Amino acid sequence: MSAAEEPKETAQSHTPRTPPLSAALGAFNTDPSQAAADEVPPPEDGGLDLSLLKKKKKKKKVEGADGDAEDEAAPAEDGGLDLTIKKKKKKAKKVEGTEEDEFTAKLKQLEVKDAEEAEEAAQEEGDMETGTGVWSHQESKTIPYTLLLSRFFTVLSQKNPDHSLSGTKSYKIPPPQCMREGNRKTVFANIADICKRMKRTEEHVTAYLFAELGTNGSVDGSRRLVIKGRFQQKQIENVVRKYIIEYVTCKTCRSPDTELNKGENRLYFITCNNCASRRSVTAIKTGFSAQIGKRKKMQG
Amino acid sequence: MSIENLKTFDPFAEADDDTGDTKKVENHIHIRIQQRNGRKSLTTVTGLPAKFDPGKILTFFRKEFACNGNKVNDEKAGEVIQLQGDQRKKVMDFLVDKKAGLGLNPDNITVHGA
Protein backbone atom coordinates (compact mmCIF):
# COMPACT_ATOMS: atom_id res chain seq x y z
CA MET A 1 0.00 0.00 0.00
CA SER A 2 2.82 2.36 0.80
CA ALA A 3 4.53 1.33 -2.39
CA ALA A 4 1.54 2.44 -4.37
CA GLU A 5 1.57 5.73 -2.65
CA GLU A 6 5.26 6.47 -2.99
CA PRO A 7 5.62 6.87 -6.74
CA LYS A 8 2.78 9.27 -6.86
CA GLU A 9 4.34 11.53 -4.32
CA THR A 10 7.77 11.40 -5.78
CA ALA A 11 6.32 12.26 -9.14
CA GLN A 12 4.62 15.21 -7.59
CA SER A 13 7.77 16.46 -6.02
CA HIS A 14 9.85 16.07 -9.11
CA THR A 15 7.72 17.25 -12.00
CA PRO A 16 5.87 20.36 -10.91
CA ARG A 17 8.55 22.05 -8.96
CA THR A 18 6.67 24.85 -7.31
CA PRO A 19 2.98 24.16 -6.69
CA PRO A 20 3.13 21.26 -4.21
CA LEU A 21 6.02 22.90 -2.46
CA SER A 22 4.25 26.09 -1.77
CA ALA A 23 1.18 24.14 -0.81
CA ALA A 24 3.12 22.10 1.65
CA LEU A 25 4.96 25.06 3.06
CA GLY A 26 1.82 27.05 3.31
CA ALA A 27 0.12 24.15 4.91
CA PHE A 28 2.67 23.92 7.63
CA ASN A 29 2.95 27.60 8.23
CA THR A 30 -0.66 28.55 8.11
CA ASP A 31 -3.35 25.98 7.47
CA PRO A 32 -3.06 22.43 8.78
CA SER A 33 -6.41 21.40 7.32
CA GLN A 34 -5.22 22.09 3.80
CA ALA A 35 -2.13 20.00 4.34
CA ALA A 36 -4.29 17.24 5.62
CA ALA A 37 -6.34 17.52 2.48
CA ASP A 38 -3.21 17.32 0.38
CA GLU A 39 -1.49 14.47 2.06
CA VAL A 40 -3.69 12.40 4.26
CA PRO A 41 -6.29 11.11 1.78
CA PRO A 42 -4.03 8.79 -0.25
CA PRO A 43 -2.28 6.99 2.63
CA GLU A 44 -5.44 6.21 4.54
CA ASP A 45 -4.59 2.57 4.77
CA GLY A 46 -1.45 2.17 6.78
CA GLY A 47 0.40 5.22 5.51
CA LEU A 48 0.29 6.75 8.92
CA ASP A 49 3.89 6.39 9.93
CA LEU A 50 5.11 7.64 6.58
CA SER A 51 3.18 10.84 6.84
CA LEU A 52 4.48 11.31 10.34
CA LEU A 53 8.00 10.97 9.12
CA LYS A 54 7.41 13.53 6.45
CA LYS A 55 6.02 16.03 8.82
CA LYS A 56 9.01 15.78 11.07
CA LYS A 57 11.46 16.09 8.26
CA LYS A 58 9.65 18.95 6.67
CA LYS A 59 9.63 20.92 9.84
CA LYS A 60 13.35 20.62 10.06
CA LYS A 61 13.85 21.48 6.46
CA VAL A 62 11.63 24.51 6.58
CA GLU A 63 14.25 26.09 8.74
CA GLY A 64 16.96 25.20 6.28
CA ALA A 65 14.76 25.89 3.26
CA ASP A 66 17.10 24.96 0.45
CA GLY A 67 16.33 21.62 -1.21
CA ASP A 68 12.62 21.66 -0.63
CA ALA A 69 11.62 19.72 -3.66
CA GLU A 70 13.81 16.88 -2.60
CA ASP A 71 12.34 16.87 0.85
CA GLU A 72 9.26 15.08 -0.17
CA ALA A 73 11.21 12.62 -2.21
CA ALA A 74 13.64 11.88 0.56
CA PRO A 75 11.27 10.30 3.04
CA ALA A 76 9.70 8.25 0.35
CA GLU A 77 13.08 6.98 -0.68
CA ASP A 78 13.86 6.30 2.91
CA GLY A 79 10.77 4.23 3.15
CA GLY A 80 11.72 2.36 0.02
CA LEU A 81 15.21 1.75 1.24
CA ASP A 82 13.99 0.51 4.56
CA LEU A 83 11.76 -1.95 2.87
CA THR A 84 14.51 -3.38 0.74
CA ILE A 85 16.80 -3.71 3.68
CA LYS A 86 14.16 -5.52 5.58
CA LYS A 87 13.57 -7.78 2.66
CA LYS A 88 17.23 -8.56 2.36
CA LYS A 89 17.46 -9.37 5.99
CA LYS A 90 14.53 -11.64 5.73
CA LYS A 91 16.08 -13.42 2.81
CA ALA A 92 19.31 -13.94 4.65
CA LYS A 93 17.45 -15.31 7.58
CA LYS A 94 15.52 -17.60 5.35
CA VAL A 95 18.69 -19.01 3.88
CA GLU A 96 19.93 -19.77 7.34
CA GLY A 97 16.57 -21.11 8.27
CA THR A 98 16.37 -23.51 5.38
CA GLU A 99 19.49 -25.33 6.44
CA GLU A 100 18.19 -25.70 9.91
CA ASP A 101 14.77 -26.48 8.59
CA GLU A 102 16.06 -29.32 6.51
CA PHE A 103 17.84 -30.66 9.50
CA THR A 104 14.87 -30.31 11.77
CA ALA A 105 12.62 -31.78 9.12
CA LYS A 106 14.83 -34.81 8.91
CA LEU A 107 14.85 -35.06 12.66
CA LYS A 108 11.10 -34.78 12.72
CA GLN A 109 10.77 -37.44 10.10
CA LEU A 110 12.92 -39.70 12.16
CA GLU A 111 10.93 -38.91 15.25
CA VAL A 112 7.70 -39.52 13.43
CA LYS A 113 8.98 -42.81 12.16
CA ASP A 114 10.07 -43.77 15.59
CA ALA A 115 6.74 -42.78 17.00
CA GLU A 116 4.90 -44.75 14.35
CA GLU A 117 6.99 -47.78 14.97
CA ALA A 118 6.49 -47.41 18.65
CA GLU A 119 2.74 -47.20 18.16
CA GLU A 120 2.66 -50.25 15.97
CA ALA A 121 4.81 -52.05 18.42
CA ALA A 122 2.60 -50.99 21.27
CA GLN A 123 -0.45 -52.36 19.52
CA GLU A 124 1.04 -55.74 18.99
CA GLU A 125 3.47 -55.80 21.77
CA GLY A 126 1.51 -56.12 24.91
CA ASP A 127 3.73 -56.25 27.93
CA MET A 128 6.69 -58.53 27.64
CA GLU A 129 7.29 -58.73 31.35
CA THR A 130 3.80 -59.69 32.35
CA GLY A 131 3.41 -61.82 29.25
CA THR A 132 0.46 -60.26 27.46
CA GLY A 133 -0.18 -59.70 23.75
CA VAL A 134 2.41 -61.35 21.58
CA TRP A 135 4.42 -62.38 24.56
CA SER A 136 1.72 -64.46 26.14
CA HIS A 137 2.62 -68.07 26.55
CA GLN A 138 -0.18 -69.43 24.42
CA GLU A 139 0.38 -66.98 21.54
CA SER A 140 1.24 -68.86 18.37
CA LYS A 141 1.72 -65.84 16.13
CA THR A 142 5.28 -65.27 14.99
CA ILE A 143 6.98 -62.40 16.73
CA PRO A 144 8.45 -59.83 14.35
CA TYR A 145 12.16 -59.29 14.35
CA THR A 146 12.03 -55.70 15.61
CA LEU A 147 10.07 -56.79 18.63
CA LEU A 148 12.47 -59.56 19.37
CA LEU A 149 15.34 -57.14 19.04
CA SER A 150 13.78 -54.60 21.34
CA ARG A 151 13.05 -57.38 23.81
CA PHE A 152 16.67 -58.44 23.66
CA PHE A 153 17.89 -54.96 24.47
CA THR A 154 15.44 -54.37 27.29
CA VAL A 155 16.38 -57.67 28.85
CA LEU A 156 20.03 -56.87 28.36
CA SER A 157 19.74 -53.48 30.01
CA GLN A 158 17.83 -55.01 32.88
CA LYS A 159 20.08 -57.94 33.54
CA ASN A 160 23.39 -56.49 32.49
CA PRO A 161 23.40 -52.70 32.64
CA ASP A 162 27.17 -52.38 32.21
CA HIS A 163 27.07 -54.11 28.89
CA SER A 164 24.30 -52.05 27.44
CA LEU A 165 25.97 -48.85 28.59
CA SER A 166 28.76 -49.33 26.09
CA GLY A 167 26.22 -49.05 23.29
CA THR A 168 26.41 -46.19 20.86
CA LYS A 169 23.46 -44.16 21.95
CA SER A 170 24.10 -43.97 25.64
CA TYR A 171 26.75 -41.27 25.48
CA LYS A 172 25.03 -37.98 25.79
CA ILE A 173 26.38 -34.69 26.89
CA PRO A 174 24.11 -31.77 27.63
CA PRO A 175 24.51 -28.84 25.27
CA PRO A 176 26.67 -26.07 26.67
CA GLN A 177 24.74 -23.22 28.18
CA CYS A 178 26.11 -19.90 27.10
CA MET A 179 25.18 -16.53 28.38
CA ARG A 180 26.53 -13.17 27.50
CA GLU A 181 28.03 -11.33 30.39
CA GLY A 182 28.27 -7.69 29.57
CA ASN A 183 29.30 -6.95 26.05
CA ARG A 184 32.45 -8.92 25.51
CA LYS A 185 32.38 -11.85 27.85
CA THR A 186 30.64 -15.18 27.55
CA VAL A 187 29.66 -17.36 30.46
CA PHE A 188 29.83 -21.09 29.98
CA ALA A 189 27.48 -22.14 32.72
CA ASN A 190 27.38 -25.92 32.78
CA ILE A 191 31.03 -26.70 32.30
CA ALA A 192 31.14 -28.56 35.61
CA ASP A 193 28.33 -30.84 34.52
CA ILE A 194 29.90 -31.51 31.13
CA CYS A 195 33.28 -32.25 32.66
CA LYS A 196 31.67 -34.65 35.06
CA ARG A 197 30.03 -36.49 32.21
CA MET A 198 33.30 -36.69 30.31
CA LYS A 199 35.28 -37.60 33.42
CA ARG A 200 37.81 -34.90 32.77
CA THR A 201 39.13 -32.20 35.01
CA GLU A 202 37.77 -28.75 34.47
CA GLU A 203 41.26 -27.35 34.19
CA HIS A 204 42.02 -29.54 31.23
CA VAL A 205 38.82 -28.67 29.42
CA THR A 206 39.27 -24.99 30.16
CA ALA A 207 42.82 -25.03 28.89
CA TYR A 208 41.68 -26.66 25.68
CA LEU A 209 38.81 -24.22 25.24
CA PHE A 210 41.06 -21.24 25.72
CA ALA A 211 43.70 -22.59 23.37
CA GLU A 212 41.16 -23.32 20.66
CA LEU A 213 39.24 -20.11 20.97
CA GLY A 214 42.41 -18.09 21.27
CA THR A 215 41.27 -16.24 24.35
CA ASN A 216 41.51 -16.45 28.06
CA GLY A 217 39.12 -16.17 30.92
CA SER A 218 38.43 -17.14 34.46
CA VAL A 219 36.21 -19.23 36.67
CA ASP A 220 33.65 -17.38 38.70
CA GLY A 221 32.18 -18.06 42.13
CA SER A 222 29.69 -20.73 41.13
CA ARG A 223 32.22 -22.69 39.05
CA ARG A 224 31.11 -21.22 35.78
CA LEU A 225 33.62 -20.36 33.14
CA VAL A 226 33.88 -16.78 32.00
CA ILE A 227 35.42 -16.54 28.55
CA LYS A 228 36.63 -13.31 27.10
CA GLY A 229 35.12 -12.58 23.73
CA ARG A 230 31.74 -13.21 22.20
CA PHE A 231 30.92 -16.80 21.51
CA GLN A 232 27.71 -18.48 20.61
CA GLN A 233 26.51 -21.74 21.96
CA LYS A 234 27.14 -23.38 18.60
CA GLN A 235 30.78 -22.38 18.56
CA ILE A 236 31.41 -23.68 22.04
CA GLU A 237 29.58 -26.87 21.18
CA ASN A 238 31.88 -27.39 18.23
CA VAL A 239 34.93 -26.99 20.39
CA VAL A 240 33.54 -29.38 22.97
CA ARG A 241 32.90 -31.86 20.19
CA LYS A 242 36.48 -31.57 19.04
CA TYR A 243 37.64 -32.05 22.59
CA ILE A 244 35.59 -35.20 22.94
CA ILE A 245 36.99 -36.62 19.73
CA GLU A 246 40.51 -35.83 20.70
CA TYR A 247 40.64 -36.38 24.42
CA VAL A 248 37.67 -38.51 25.40
CA THR A 249 36.76 -41.18 22.90
CA CYS A 250 38.93 -44.22 22.57
CA LYS A 251 40.37 -44.41 19.09
CA THR A 252 40.22 -48.17 18.91
CA CYS A 253 36.75 -48.96 20.20
CA ARG A 254 35.13 -45.51 20.12
CA SER A 255 34.07 -45.87 23.69
CA PRO A 256 33.86 -42.64 25.67
CA ASP A 257 34.56 -44.52 28.87
CA THR A 258 38.19 -43.50 29.20
CA GLU A 259 40.54 -41.98 31.69
CA LEU A 260 43.09 -39.28 31.18
CA ASN A 261 46.25 -39.74 33.17
CA LYS A 262 49.51 -38.02 33.37
CA GLY A 263 52.16 -40.52 32.45
CA GLU A 264 55.82 -40.09 33.08
CA ASN A 265 57.61 -37.33 31.17
CA ARG A 266 54.79 -34.81 31.11
CA LEU A 267 52.78 -36.78 28.61
CA TYR A 268 49.11 -37.40 28.92
CA PHE A 269 47.75 -40.84 28.27
CA ILE A 270 44.22 -41.98 27.64
CA THR A 271 43.36 -45.37 29.03
CA CYS A 272 40.23 -46.98 27.79
CA ASN A 273 38.14 -48.71 30.42
CA ASN A 274 36.38 -50.73 27.80
CA CYS A 275 39.13 -52.29 25.73
CA ALA A 276 42.10 -51.40 27.94
CA SER A 277 43.98 -49.71 25.13
CA ARG A 278 46.29 -46.89 25.98
CA ARG A 279 47.36 -44.04 23.78
CA SER A 280 49.13 -40.77 24.25
CA VAL A 281 47.44 -37.51 23.43
CA THR A 282 48.98 -34.27 22.37
CA ALA A 283 49.50 -31.67 24.99
CA ILE A 284 47.35 -28.57 24.72
CA LYS A 285 49.22 -25.84 23.01
CA THR A 286 48.16 -22.27 22.65
CA GLY A 287 50.29 -21.65 19.60
CA PHE A 288 51.05 -18.36 18.01
CA SER A 289 48.85 -15.46 18.94
CA ALA A 290 49.08 -12.19 17.16
CA GLN A 291 49.13 -9.07 19.19
CA ILE A 292 45.90 -7.22 19.13
CA GLY A 293 45.39 -3.70 20.29
CA LYS A 294 47.81 -1.00 21.08
CA ARG A 295 51.48 -1.58 20.62
CA LYS A 296 52.43 0.86 23.30
CA LYS A 297 50.78 -1.30 25.89
CA MET A 298 52.69 -4.34 24.75
CA GLN A 299 56.04 -2.67 24.90
CA GLY A 300 55.66 -1.32 28.34
CA MET B 1 72.03 -51.51 37.14
CA SER B 2 71.30 -51.96 33.49
CA ILE B 3 67.66 -52.80 34.11
CA GLU B 4 67.17 -49.73 36.24
CA ASN B 5 68.68 -47.64 33.53
CA LEU B 6 66.24 -49.05 31.06
CA LYS B 7 63.37 -48.17 33.33
CA THR B 8 64.23 -44.54 33.71
CA PHE B 9 64.87 -43.92 30.07
CA ASP B 10 61.77 -43.95 27.98
CA PRO B 11 62.90 -43.74 24.38
CA PHE B 12 59.55 -42.87 22.90
CA ALA B 13 58.67 -40.13 25.30
CA GLU B 14 62.03 -38.50 24.90
CA ALA B 15 61.81 -38.52 21.16
CA ASP B 16 58.37 -37.04 21.26
CA ASP B 17 59.48 -34.26 23.55
CA ASP B 18 62.60 -33.23 21.71
CA THR B 19 62.86 -34.16 18.10
CA GLY B 20 59.32 -35.20 17.32
CA ASP B 21 57.91 -32.00 18.62
CA THR B 22 60.11 -29.69 16.59
CA LYS B 23 59.38 -31.70 13.51
CA LYS B 24 55.70 -31.35 14.14
CA VAL B 25 55.91 -27.59 14.23
CA GLU B 26 57.49 -27.61 10.82
CA ASN B 27 55.17 -30.09 9.25
CA HIS B 28 51.91 -29.30 10.86
CA ILE B 29 49.98 -26.27 9.73
CA HIS B 30 47.73 -24.51 12.18
CA ILE B 31 45.04 -22.13 11.09
CA ARG B 32 43.79 -20.14 14.01
CA ILE B 33 41.38 -17.34 14.59
CA GLN B 34 41.50 -14.56 17.09
CA GLN B 35 38.68 -12.28 18.06
CA ARG B 36 39.21 -8.60 17.88
CA ASN B 37 36.95 -5.78 18.88
CA GLY B 38 33.41 -6.00 17.66
CA ARG B 39 32.75 -8.53 14.96
CA LYS B 40 36.23 -8.32 13.58
CA SER B 41 38.64 -11.18 13.68
CA LEU B 42 42.11 -12.20 12.61
CA THR B 43 43.28 -15.38 10.96
CA THR B 44 46.79 -16.70 11.54
CA VAL B 45 48.47 -19.41 9.54
CA THR B 46 51.52 -20.99 11.11
CA GLY B 47 53.85 -23.75 10.10
CA LEU B 48 53.76 -23.39 6.34
CA PRO B 49 56.34 -25.62 4.66
CA ALA B 50 59.64 -23.94 3.93
CA LYS B 51 59.54 -24.77 0.26
CA PHE B 52 56.81 -22.20 -0.29
CA ASP B 53 57.57 -18.54 -0.28
CA PRO B 54 55.40 -16.96 2.43
CA GLY B 55 55.54 -13.61 0.69
CA LYS B 56 54.07 -14.97 -2.48
CA ILE B 57 51.39 -16.89 -0.62
CA LEU B 58 50.55 -13.75 1.27
CA THR B 59 50.16 -11.64 -1.85
CA PHE B 60 47.94 -14.33 -3.31
CA PHE B 61 45.81 -14.42 -0.18
CA ARG B 62 45.47 -10.70 -0.11
CA LYS B 63 44.36 -10.52 -3.67
CA GLU B 64 42.15 -13.58 -3.64
CA PHE B 65 40.39 -13.04 -0.33
CA ALA B 66 40.25 -9.27 -0.71
CA CYS B 67 41.71 -8.67 2.69
CA ASN B 68 44.82 -7.18 4.08
CA GLY B 69 47.42 -9.26 5.76
CA ASN B 70 51.04 -9.41 6.70
CA LYS B 71 53.66 -11.88 7.68
CA VAL B 72 55.32 -11.92 11.02
CA ASN B 73 58.48 -13.67 12.02
CA ASP B 74 57.82 -15.29 15.33
CA GLU B 75 60.55 -16.85 17.43
CA LYS B 76 58.63 -20.00 18.14
CA ALA B 77 56.30 -20.35 15.22
CA GLY B 78 58.57 -19.08 12.46
CA GLU B 79 56.92 -17.26 9.58
CA VAL B 80 53.32 -16.52 10.38
CA ILE B 81 50.79 -15.15 7.96
CA GLN B 82 48.16 -12.91 9.45
CA LEU B 83 45.01 -12.08 7.56
CA GLN B 84 42.19 -9.77 8.41
CA GLY B 85 38.84 -11.39 8.93
CA ASP B 86 37.83 -15.00 9.20
CA GLN B 87 39.58 -16.62 6.24
CA ARG B 88 40.04 -20.06 7.74
CA LYS B 89 37.92 -21.96 5.29
CA LYS B 90 39.36 -20.23 2.27
CA VAL B 91 42.90 -20.76 3.48
CA MET B 92 42.16 -24.39 4.15
CA ASP B 93 40.69 -24.81 0.67
CA PHE B 94 43.69 -23.16 -0.91
CA LEU B 95 46.21 -25.25 0.98
CA VAL B 96 44.44 -28.48 0.17
CA ASP B 97 43.46 -27.75 -3.43
CA LYS B 98 45.62 -29.71 -5.80
CA LYS B 99 45.01 -27.72 -8.94
CA ALA B 100 44.84 -24.12 -7.89
CA GLY B 101 46.42 -24.45 -4.47
CA LEU B 102 49.36 -26.02 -2.76
CA GLY B 103 47.96 -29.54 -2.68
CA LEU B 104 48.96 -30.33 0.86
CA ASN B 105 47.74 -33.24 2.87
CA PRO B 106 44.68 -32.18 4.87
CA ASP B 107 45.80 -34.44 7.72
CA ASN B 108 48.67 -32.09 8.36
CA ILE B 109 46.44 -29.08 8.70
CA THR B 110 44.38 -28.26 11.74
CA VAL B 111 41.80 -25.54 11.82
CA HIS B 112 41.33 -24.15 15.29
CA GLY B 113 38.66 -22.04 16.82
CA ALA B 114 34.94 -22.33 16.78
Residue B15 lies inside a defined structural domain of this protein: no
Residue B13 lies inside a defined structural domain of this protein: no
Residue B7 lies inside a defined structural domain of this protein: no
Residue B10 lies inside a defined structural domain of this protein: no
Q: Residue A101 has what pLDDT? A: 64
Query: pTM to 2 decimals?
Result: 0.53
CA distance A152 to A128: 11
Q: Judge contact between A270 and A260, C-beta under 8 A.
A: yes
Mutant choice from B8, B22, B35, B70 vs A, greatest count of A C-beta within 10 A:
B35
Strand order in the sheet with A268-272: A258-262, A268-272, A278-281
Cross-chain CB nearest to A288 (options B10, B14, B80):
B80
Indicate the helix (H) or strand (E) that contains A225.
strand A225-228
Q: Judge contact between A273 and A165, C-beta under 8 A.
A: no
Mutant choice from A288, A289, A292, A298 vs B, greatest count of B C-beta within 10 A:
A288
Q: Residue A108 has what pLDDT? A: 72
Strand order in the sheet with A178-181: A178-181, A185-188, A225-228, A217-219
Q: Residue A226 has what pLDDT? A: 92
Looking at CATH, the fold of the domain delimited by A178-252 is given as Alpha-Beta Plaits (3.30.70)
Cross-chain CB nearest to A287 (options B17, B32, B114):
B32
Q: Residue B28 has what pLDDT? A: 82
Residue B74 lies inside a defined structural domain of this protein: yes
Number of domains within chain B? 1
Give phi and psi for A62, each to the nearest 5.
-60, -35
Domain that holds residue B75: 27-110
Run means of pLDDT, 10 residues per run, chain A, 300 residues: 44 45 44 44 44 40 42 43 41 46 68 62 62 74 85 82 55 84 88 87 89 87 88 88 87 84 82 85 78 61
Other CB atoms closer than 10 Å to residue A12's CB: what's the count? Answer: 19
Q: Residue A253 has what pLDDT? A: 82
Cross-chain CB nearest to B34 (options A238, A264, A290):
A290
Residue B34 lies inside a defined structural domain of this protein: yes
Q: Predicted ipTM?
A: 0.71
Sort out which chain B residues have CB atoms less than 8 A from A230's CB and list them: 35
CATH code at B71?
3.30.780.10
